[in-house]
Structure 1
Amino acid sequence: MRLLELTGSIADFHARPIPDDLPEAEAWSYRPPGRGLVLGSAQQESVADLAAAERAGIAVAKRRSGGGAVYVDPARCVWVDVVLPPHDERWSDDVREATYWLGEAWQRALASLGIDTRLYRGGLEQTPWGRLVCFAALGPGEVLVGDRKLVGISQRRTRAGARFQCIAYDRWDAHDVLDLLDLSDADRTAAAADLATRATGVGDHLDALRAAIVAELLGSGRTPVE
C-alpha cells in the first residue's frame, strides 16, 4: 500500500475518483483547509442549513459513499481514505465483510495508544437519526469503545475498486453536526438527546492516531509518501 498526503478543498477531495487500473492499494491521508459538513451520497443539499453553515464559515460538500452527514474540522478529526483494487488480497465481494480488515487495522492502531476497542460486525444499524447523521448509527467494520462509535467507515464500490472513507474525532459533540442541519428546534433537541451517548472520541491523541493508522496500513518499514 502506498500513502498519498492530500490537501485541497473538501469538495475536490470527495470528488476524487477511484483510479482505473490501480496497481496497489492506496491510503489517502487528508487534511482539509477548514471546517466542513459532508453529506452522504443519498442526501440532498436541502438536508443542510446552508445559511447557518455560511454564517459559521463552514463548507458544505457531498461524498460519493453512503451514510449520513459528517462534521469535519482539521483541528479535531483524523480523516483517512483507503482505496482498494479488486486484485488486492484484502478484497471481498461481500460488502459487509469488506470493511472488517480495515476496522481491525484501526483497532491495532488504537491499541498502540492504549485504547481498547471492539469491532462491529453486524449489519447497518437502524436508529431514529441514522439516515441523517453518520455517527447516529453503526455500520459493518466500524470501531467502538464500549457501545459508542469511535471510527466511522463508509464505502463506495465501482468496477475500479472500493474507496473506504474513515473518520475519528478528538471528542464527540452531536451539536457540531446537528447545528448545521435543517431541523426544527424540537427535532434538534430530540436528536441531540439520542446522539449524546452514541459516539466518543480519542481525546488528545489525534496526531498520534494519524501516525499509528498510517503505519498500520503501510506495514513496517514502508513509508512511501506523495
Structure 2
Amino acid sequence: MIKLEAINKSYQQGKSAVHILHDINLNISEGELVAIMGQSGSGKSTLINIIGFLDDQFEGNYFYNDLPIHDYKRSQFSKLRNSNVGFVFQNFKLINNLTVQENVGLPLLYAGEKRTNIKKRVTEVLQQVGLPGLEKELPKNLSGGQQQRVSIARAIITHPQFLIADEPTGALDSQTSAEIIALFKQLNKQRNTTIIMVTHDEKVCRQATRLIQILDGRIISDEKVV
C-alpha cells in the first residue's frame, strides 16, 4: 500500500541545508500494525509527515496504492490526506467548546455530509471505541483515556485506509495506555485498518506486529515483532 524509495528530506537553515532523512526505503502493506521508534530528533516525525501526505517537499519516490504521489501537486496531497488518513495525537487535539458528537463529526462536516448522517455515524463509532452515550459531553468532563478514544473515533469516522498515531499513549498512565493499544489492535484485527504508531514506549512497540527503528534520519532496523 505504501512504498517509499530513496526518500530524502532537508531543511534550509540560513545558508546551510540540514539533512533530516537519508535514503529511506520502506514498504507497508495493508492491514499491518507498525511501530516506529526513535529518539527525539531522529527524523520519525518528518517521516510520518511524508507518509501521511502532510509534507510534499521531499526527494525520492512515494507510491501509494501504486499511485506516484511524488508527482502530485499540493492540492492533490490535501485530497489524499482527507480521504485516506486518520490522525491520532498525543494531546488529543479536541476542541474544548464542542461536544464529543461535534468533535467526532468534524471530518464528515468538512466533507459536506448531511447532519443526520453525521449524527448516525458518530453514534456508531462511539460505540466502536467504547464510549456509547457520551455524544453531548464536553471533552473537559472526560478522562484522558476517554479523550483519546474520542480522538480515535474522529480519526476513523471517514473509514480511512490507514491511521497515523503520534505518541498516542504519551499523556496516559500505564493502564489507560494498555486500553488504548488494545483498541488499536481491535481496529487493526476487526477492520483490517493499517496503523502506523510513533512511540518512545517499548511496551507499546511490543504490541505491534512490526517495529521500525530510526536513528539520525536512517532506518537502522526493521523487524517483525514476536
Which one scores higher on RCO, CA 8 angstroms, separation ≥ 6?
2
Task: Give the structure-2-normalised TM-score.
Answer: 0.27
Of structures 1 and 2, the larger Rg is shown by 2
Task: Give the structure-1-normalised TM-score.
Answer: 0.27
The structure that is helix-richer by fraction is 2
The structure that is strand-richer by fraction is 2
